[in-house]
Chain A
Amino acid sequence: MTRKKPVSAILFFVLPFGLLFIAFYLAPIGYAIKQSLYKVTRTGTFGPAHEVFGGFEQYRRVFQNGPFWESVGRVLLFGVVQVPVMLGLALVLALLLDSGLVKGRAFFRLAFFVPYAVPGVVAAIMWGFLYSPNLSPFTAVTKTWDLLSADLVLWAMANVVTWVYVGYNMLIIYSALLAIPQEVYEAAKLDGAGPIRTAWSIKIPLVMPAIVLTTVFSIIGTLQLLAEPQVFRTFSSAVSSTYTPNLTVYSTSSIPNFNLAAAFSVVLALATCLLSFTFLKITQRGGEK
C-alpha cells in the first residue's frame, strides 16, 4: 500500500514551534549580529544620532575591553571550581541513594531537591541575608570571614548556585542509575566486585551521558551568571556592574550603547556554544576508546 506523505499534518505539527523559533531565536540572533556591525555617529557633539555600518569596530572594542575579559576570567574560574564540586557532590549523593546503604531514600531525594524550587533571584536574596554579619544565624562564620568581601564574594555566589542545583543534577544522574538493568549488577557480583568497585567501573561509565548532559548545562549556566551577582550588588560593594559578562551586557545596554552590547552578546553566545561543543566532542572521543 502506498500512502501519500501527510504533508499538511507535518506542517501542522512543525509550523507553530518553527515560526516561534524563527521569531524569538533566529531573528534575535540575526538582529544582534547586524546591530553589532553598526555604530552610532553624531554630527557635532549634540547633533542627531544615526547608525552607520561600522564593520568590526564594535568587536575591536569588545576585545580591547579590559573589564569584560576580567569578568570572563572570573566566571571561568568560578566554573572550573564550582561545576566539578557541584557535579561531584551530585554524583556521590546519587550513588549513595542508589547503593542500598541509605534508609529513607524518598525523604532525602525530596530534601535535596527542595532548593531547586527556589528561583535564583530569591535564593540569592536569602543567602545575601544569611551572609550579612548582623543578620546571619551563622555569626561565628560571618564574623571570622567577611563572605561579602571582594576576596570571598565569588565563592559566596558559587555556594548559592551549588545549593540550588545539586539536587536537580543529582536527580538526573540518579534517574540514569535507576535505568541500569539489574543483570549488569549480577554479572559484576559473580565477578566478585564490591560496592565501590561496582560504582567506579560500572555505574559511573554507564551514567556518563547523564553526567555529560549536566556538565554542558552547568557550563551554559556559569557563563550566564546574572541573577546572583545582580542581587549581590545590593549586599556587597565588591560586585561591580561588570562583575560577570552578562552584567556587562546588561549595564552596557542601559548606558545605552546597544551596538556594543550586541557585540558582547554575540561574543558571549559564541563562547558558550564553543565551550559546550568542545566539551561534548572531547567526552565523545573519550567514550569511543
Chain B
Amino acid sequence: MKSKSAAMAIMGICTLYFLVPIWWLFVGATKSRSDFGNTAPLWFAHFNLGSNLSELFHYRDGVFLRWMLNSILYTGGAALLGTVLAAMCGYALAKYNFPGREAIFNIVLGGVLVPATALALPLFLIFSQLNATNTFWSVFLPSLVNPFGVYLARIYATASVPDELLEAARLDGSGEVRTFFTVSTKLMFPALVTIFLFHFVAVWNNFLLPLIMLGNERLFPVTLGLYSWNTQVNQLPQLRMLVLTGALVSIIPLVVAFLFLQRFWRSGLGSGAVK
C-alpha cells in the first residue's frame, strides 16, 4: 500500500512539472497585455484569447499563418516522402542479397551519428554556390534524408515481412515493386508510422538549417518566425503577447498528430531499440 501511494506521488509531482508550463502558456495566451503583467500568472483574468488570436493572424499581413503553413509543408511533405524513401531503401537492404549491401548499410548507419548541425553549414555553402539559398527547396530537399529511418525500416522489414510471402507473391506473378507497395508496406505499417513521426518531429524542430538558409520571412517555418519575433520583443513590446499566443498555436499540430497516430505507433516504437 505504501509503495502504491509513493508511486502515485512521484507521478503526480512529475505531471505538475510537465504540465504546469503548458498550463501557464495557455492561461497567458488568454490575457490582455496589461493583465499578463498584473494578474496571477497561473489563473485566468479577462478572457482575451479571441482578440489575441485575431491579432496574431492579422499582424503583418497574416505572416504567422504563412509560417504555420510553411511548417506543415516542410514537415509533412518531407516526413511523408522521406518515410517512403527510407522504407524502400531499408526494405531492399533487408530483403535482397546484393553486393555492397552491408557497405551501404554501414555508411547509412554512420550517417545517423553525424550531427545534423554539422551538415547545415556546408549545405549552405553548396546551395549558395548554386544560387539556391533562400528558397523553399534549400530547406525541403535536405530534410528528406533520414538515415535513422532506413535503419528502422531494415529492422522492421526483417522482422515483419516473411520471405515465404514474397516467394508466394513472385509465384503469383507480382513484380517486386508491386509486391512492396501492396503487401510489404501493409506488414510494415506500424513501423512506417513510427518512422514518419520521428521524421516529422525532427524536421518540425530543425532550427539551424532554416536559420542559415532563409532570409525571406515569407519562407520561414513557425519556429524561426517565433524566434525572430522574440528577438524583437525589447524594441516592440506588443510582440510579447503574439509570441506567447503563437507558441501555443505552434504546439497544436504536433499534439494532434500524436493523438491521431498513437494507436499505430506505440506498438512499433520499442522494436527499434530492442533488436
Q: Which residues of A contact B (CB under 8 A)?
A: 3, 5-7, 9-10, 12-14, 16-18, 20-21, 23-29, 31-32, 35, 89, 92-93, 96, 99, 101-103, 108, 111-122, 125-130, 134-137, 163, 166-167, 171-176, 178-179, 195, 207, 209-210, 213-214, 216, 220, 223-224, 226-227, 230-231, 234, 246, 249-250, 253, 258, 261-262, 265-266, 268-269, 272-273, 276-277
Q: Which residues of B contact A253 (CB under 8 A)?
A: 121, 124, 212
Partner of A28 from the list B119, B207, B244, B274 (CB cut-off 8 Å) is B119
Question: Is the C-beta of B236 less than 8 angstroms from some C-beta in chain A?
Answer: no
Interface residues on B, range: 35 or more
User: Is A25 touching B119 in the complex (CB atoms < 8 A)?
Assistant: yes
Question: Is the C-beta of B76 less than 8 angstroms from some C-beta in chain A?
Answer: no
User: Is A14 touching B104 in the complex (CB atoms < 8 A)?
Assistant: yes
A222 to chain B, nearest CB (A): 10
Taken together as a complex, chains A and B put the C-alpha atoms of A23 and B145 apart, in Å, by 10
Taken together as a complex, chains A and B put the C-alpha atoms of A269 and B141 apart, in Å, by 21
Partner of B274 from the list A10, A112, A176 (CB cut-off 8 Å) is A176
User: Is B126 touching A28 in the complex (CB atoms < 8 A)?
Assistant: yes
Question: Is the C-beta of B17 less than 8 angstroms from some C-beta in chain A?
Answer: yes
Most B CB within 10 A of own CB, among A7, A118, A262, A273: A118
Question: Is the C-beta of B201 less than 8 angstroms from some C-beta in chain A?
Answer: yes
User: Is A120 touching B270 in the complex (CB atoms < 8 A)?
Assistant: no
User: Is B7 touching A273 in the complex (CB atoms < 8 A)?
Assistant: no
Known contacts A10-B96, A12-B177: A234-B231 contact under CB 8 Å: yes
A39 to chain B, nearest CB (A): 15
Q: Which residues of B contact A250 (CB under 8 A)?
A: 121, 208, 211-212
- Specify the main secondary structure of chain A where it touches its partner: helix
Partner of A119 from the list B117, B223, B230, B266 (CB cut-off 8 Å) is B223
Question: Is the C-beta of B19 less than 8 angstroms from some C-beta in chain A?
Answer: yes
B221 to chain A, nearest CB (A): 9
Taken together as a complex, chains A and B put the C-alpha atoms of A259 and B251 apart, in Å, by 38
Taken together as a complex, chains A and B put the C-alpha atoms of A123 and B207 apart, in Å, by 13
Taken together as a complex, chains A and B put the C-alpha atoms of A261 and B67 apart, in Å, by 29
Look across to chain A and name the residue whose beta carbon is closest to the beta carbon of B230. Answer: A125
Q: Which residues of A contact B205 (CB under 8 A)?
A: 119-121, 227
Partner of B114 from the list A6, A10, A258, A273 (CB cut-off 8 Å) is A273
Q: Which residues of B contact A277 (CB under 8 A)?
A: 113
Question: Is the C-beta of B162 less than 8 angstroms from some C-beta in chain A?
Answer: no
Taken together as a complex, chains A and B put the C-alpha atoms of A130 and B231 apart, in Å, by 16
Apart from the given pairs A108-B15, A227-B208, 7 other A-B contacts in the complex at a CB distance below 8 Å: A24-B142, A111-B18, A118-B251, A178-B270, A209-B275, A213-B273, A262-B125
B235 to chain A, nearest CB (A): 11
Known contacts A10-B98, A209-B274: A120-B207 contact under CB 8 Å: yes
Taken together as a complex, chains A and B put the C-alpha atoms of A195 and B4 apart, in Å, by 12
Partner of A25 from the list B111, B170, B274 (CB cut-off 8 Å) is B111
Known contacts A114-B255, A122-B250: A273-B8 contact under CB 8 Å: no
User: Is B270 touching A268 in the complex (CB atoms < 8 A)?
Assistant: no
User: Is B88 touching A13 in the complex (CB atoms < 8 A)?
Assistant: yes
Q: Which residues of A contact B234 (CB under 8 A)?
A: 234
1/0 per residue, CB under 8 A from A, across B118-140: the answer is 11011111100000000000000
Known contacts A122-B251, A179-B270: A167-B226 contact under CB 8 Å: no
Known contacts A17-B89, A119-B250: A126-B18 contact under CB 8 Å: no
User: Is B207 touching A14 in the complex (CB atoms < 8 A)?
Assistant: no
Q: Which residues of B contact A226 (CB under 8 A)?
A: 117, 207-208
Taken together as a complex, chains A and B put the C-alpha atoms of A108 and B19 apart, in Å, by 11
Q: Which residues of A contact B222 (CB under 8 A)?
A: 119
Partner of A130 from the list B24, B107, B114 (CB cut-off 8 Å) is B24
The 10 closest A-B pairs by CB, nearest first: A175-B270, A137-B41, A9-B176, A13-B92, A210-B273, A28-B122, A17-B89, A117-B254, A269-B118, A101-B7
Partner of A13 from the list B89, B113, B145, B243 (CB cut-off 8 Å) is B89
User: Is B85 touching A16 in the complex (CB atoms < 8 A)?
Assistant: yes
User: Is B269 touching A24 in the complex (CB atoms < 8 A)?
Assistant: no
A93 to chain B, nearest CB (A): 6
